[in-house]
A and B are shown apart, each in its own frame.
Chain A
């Protein structure tokens, strides 16, 4: 039966190849889109995992709904530390650097920092062991004062080092009532390793001092902390802990950034986009299916006499049905295989083109970490290969069934009379 079906297909080369082409395009689209989508998702996921420590929650005072609130107190931090599942909680004070508030080296050159963060160095190292690391120098000890740790881009401006370990830097800030400028001197203790990737915990443009030093600089001392970093022991507990923190402060009084929730959502959106594109690909496969139905209906009409002969010499209805279904199946198998092969090539080609588009604009003034290029690599998965192949076969059989049934039900006498 197989060789007979194969012969019938070979008999009508052009028609068969056009029908098969329909299936090839459908499968190619589905497979390429699925592979690219999978690859893109993987890339984004990896990036997000690099960008955010998934086990670190970030707590901000206030919310978009209720507006910003004043900072957190030491008591708040102690509370969070005692929530079950929390391994660390450390505060952060930020001093934004502006035209007036400046961080300069001994020769008066501005450092590359955008903000000064006041932290407990030991706790920061424990919370972000992969990110809060030095490229040179050392972190200040617990009770050391007047020390500063620079982010990579804070230390290097236009590829020249503006402040290195051991150098003195000066923070100058105007005091409001008198507009007189106060100067605070720090010695560079260490320089952080280049973060590079996107994500919010990128410290390249930061400079860090101790909380004790910061409390001497800022005027507001009762609730000084603007951010709390919370490390959870188990990533699965992140949502629950976030809820508990929100409950403690009251509705909309804090915003807890949960990286897993964020990555989950991004992942969901990407899945949705991927499914949408696959659905579009599927439409082309259904169009191909209609093509198969069309071609086979014509073939049944053309071969009416042949069907009559076969039935007259003793072919059963299901033999005729099987014959036509085998032809449809062959188109499905061949189309599916070629489609997957071309789909592989197509996905790599498409990735190449898209990657050229995704290259960041090099002329941009600031080399921002977020503009790092995303590289698209198709992820060819066996699962998708099987799904696409099955889909091709199913479509071919479904659309081949009607003409094949029609052929099998032909009355032999009428079929023999057919010219």
Chain B
């Protein structure tokens, strides 16, 4: 048996409008995460193109992609992916530090954002001292701290109980409406998917259907 190459995505094409709240719904193995990694410039596709603000991002080098991730894109993960040794505040400050923003300003901005996501009183707690929902709020604050155009969330509720899950979804929805950032949320939960403006159904690396929800 040799190595068998299984393409995760086999011809997926769609546009995302600015300010849209989009969910990608599909069972595990349908290629949702791969799709999100590609949009988020964490990975490169074998074929095809990804246009971000009208620009093909695939011609950019690793450093330029990193810069894009830093300033224009925010990531929220299923397993939060916070640095365990750092406090909530410090975790949120990482992208600011990477962008070369002074510690004083970073501190101020991170505090404000953590208050916005409802963690004003948990600034100096480490991830291990926070609940799952709280950790995910820290992660959302980290994703938003550099004012990105696009926020990508990979199963953000996958590791939370139903109540905290919904709190997170509602928070993202609220941020989308208040600040106007574009959200792409990957989920396998049809109920959560319904919170979006538009749902893309993904199966075996292909788009099965697209459903717009008018509010």
Interface contact A317-B70, CB-CB below 8 Å? no
Residues of chain B contacted by A315 (CB below 8 angstroms): 66, 70, 98
Residues of chain B contacted by A309 (CB below 8 angstroms): 81-83
Decide yes or no whether B99 CB sits under 8 A from chain A.
Answer: yes
Residues of chain A contacted by B98 (CB below 8 angstroms): 310, 313-315, 319
Residues of chain B contacted by A313 (CB below 8 angstroms): 69-70, 75, 94-95, 98, 142-143
Decide yes or no whether B43 CB sits under 8 A from chain A.
Answer: yes
Decide yes or no whether B126 CB sits under 8 A from chain A.
Answer: no
Decide yes or no whether A240 CB sits under 8 A from chain B.
Answer: no
What's the Cα separation between A305 and B188 when bound, in Å?
24
Residues of chain A contacted by B66 (CB below 8 angstroms): 311, 314-317, 319
Q: Which residue of A lies closest to B62 (CB)?
A: A317
B33-55 contacts to A (CB < 8 Å) = 37, 40, 42-43
Residues of chain A contacted by B75 (CB below 8 angstroms): 312-313
Interface contact A312-B67, CB-CB below 8 Å? no
What's the Cα separation between A16 and B83 when bound, in Å?
20
Q: Which residue of A lies closest to B145 (CB)?
A: A313
What's the Cα separation between A56 and B185 when bound, in Å?
94
Question: A413 and B63 in contact (CB under 8 A), knowing A313-B75, A314-B71, A314-B98?
Answer: no
Interface contact A312-B42, CB-CB below 8 Å? yes
Q: Measured between C-beta atoms, what is the minimum distance from B101 to chain A in Å?
A: 12
Interface contact B81-A305, CB-CB below 8 Å? yes
Interface contact B99-A316, CB-CB below 8 Å? no
Decide yes or no whether B21 CB sits under 8 A from chain A.
Answer: no
Residues of chain A contacted by B104 (CB below 8 angstroms): none
Q: Measured between C-beta atoms, what is the minimum distance from B3 to chain A in Å?
A: 16
Residues of chain B contacted by A411 (CB below 8 angstroms): 43
What's the Cα separation between A310 and B40 when bound, in Å?
14
Interface residue range, chain B: 20 to 34
Q: Which residue of B lies closest to A303 (CB)?
A: B83
Residues of chain B contacted by A306 (CB below 8 angstroms): 83
Residues 177-205 of chain B, each 1 if its beta carbon lies under 8 Å from chain A, else 0:
00000000000000000000000000000
What's the Cα separation between A90 and B142 when bound, in Å?
93
Q: Measured between C-beta atoms, what is the minimum distance from A407 to chain B in Å?
A: 14
Decide yes or no whether A416 CB sits under 8 A from chain B.
Answer: yes
Interface contact B69-A314, CB-CB below 8 Å? yes
Q: Which residue of A lies closest to B37 (CB)?
A: A413
A292-313 contacts to B (CB < 8 Å) = 305-306, 308-313
Q: Which residue of B lies closest to A414 (CB)?
A: B43
Residues of chain B contacted by A317 (CB below 8 angstroms): 62-63, 66
Q: Which residue of A lies closest to B143 (CB)?
A: A313
Decide yes or no whether A11 CB sits under 8 A from chain B.
Answer: yes
Decide yes or no whether A83 CB sits under 8 A from chain B.
Answer: no
A residues contacting the other copy or chain, number (CB 8 A):
20
Question: A314 and B81 in contact (CB under 8 A), knowing A413-B37, A413-B43?
Answer: no
Interface contact A316-B95, CB-CB below 8 Å? no
What's the Cα separation between A209 and B202 when bound, in Å?
118
Residues of chain B contacted by A318 (CB below 8 angstroms): 63
What's the Cα separation between A144 and B63 when bound, in Å?
97
Contacting A316 at CB < 8 Å: which of B43, B63, B81, B143?
A: B63
Residues of chain A contacted by B85 (CB below 8 angstroms): 7, 11
Q: Measured between C-beta atoms, what is the minimum distance from A233 to chain B in Å?
A: 69
Q: Which residue of B lies closest to A311 (CB)?
A: B66
Q: Which residue of B lies closest to A320 (CB)?
A: B66
Residues of chain B contacted by A311 (CB below 8 angstroms): 42, 66, 69
Q: Which residue of A lies closest to B40 (CB)?
A: A312
What's the Cα separation between A5 and B36 when bound, in Å?
31
Contacting B95 at CB < 8 Å: which of A7, A11, A314, A413?
A: A314
What's the Cα separation between A92 and B5 when bound, in Å?
99
Q: Which residue of A lies closest to B34 (CB)?
A: A413
What's the Cα separation between A416 and B155 when bound, in Å?
14
Residues of chain A contacted by B42 (CB below 8 angstroms): 311-312, 412-413, 416
Residues of chain A contacted by B63 (CB below 8 angstroms): 316-318
Interface contact B62-A316, CB-CB below 8 Å? yes
Interface contact A310-B94, CB-CB below 8 Å? yes
Interface contact B62-A314, CB-CB below 8 Å? no
What's the Cα separation between A308 and B85 when bound, in Å?
15
What's the Cα separation between A317 and B62 when bound, in Å?
8
Residues 74-113 of chain B, each 1 if its beta carbon lies under 8 Å from chain A, else 0:
0101000111010000000011001100000000000000
Q: Which residue of B lies closest to A11 (CB)?
A: B85
Q: Which residue of B lies closest to A7 (CB)?
A: B85
Q: Measured between C-beta atoms, what is the minimum distance from A135 to chain B in Å?
A: 77
What's the Cα separation between A313 and B73 when bound, in Å?
8
A209-242 contacts to B (CB < 8 Å) = none
Residues of chain A contacted by B146 (CB below 8 angstroms): 314
Residues of chain B contacted by A305 (CB below 8 angstroms): 81
What's the Cα separation between A315 and B37 when bound, in Å?
16
Residues 154-190 of chain A, each 1 if its beta carbon lies under 8 Å from chain B, else 0:
0000000000000000000000000000000000000
Q: Which residue of A lies closest to B85 (CB)?
A: A11
Interface contact B69-A312, CB-CB below 8 Å? yes
Residues 1-22 of chain A, each 1 if its beta carbon lies under 8 Å from chain B, else 0:
0000001000100000000000
Given A314-B99, A318-B63, A411-B43; 11 other pairs, CB 8 A cutoff = A309-B83, A311-B42, A311-B66, A312-B42, A312-B77, A312-B81, A313-B70, A314-B66, A314-B70, A314-B146, A413-B37
B contact residues vs A (CB 8 Å cutoff): 37, 40, 42-43, 62-63, 66-71, 75, 77, 81-83, 85, 94-95, 98-99, 142-143, 146
Q: Which 3 residue pairs across A and B have the least CB separation, nearest first?
A: A314-B70, A314-B69, A316-B66
5 contacts between A and B (CB under 8 A): A306-B83, A309-B81, A309-B82, A314-B146, A413-B42
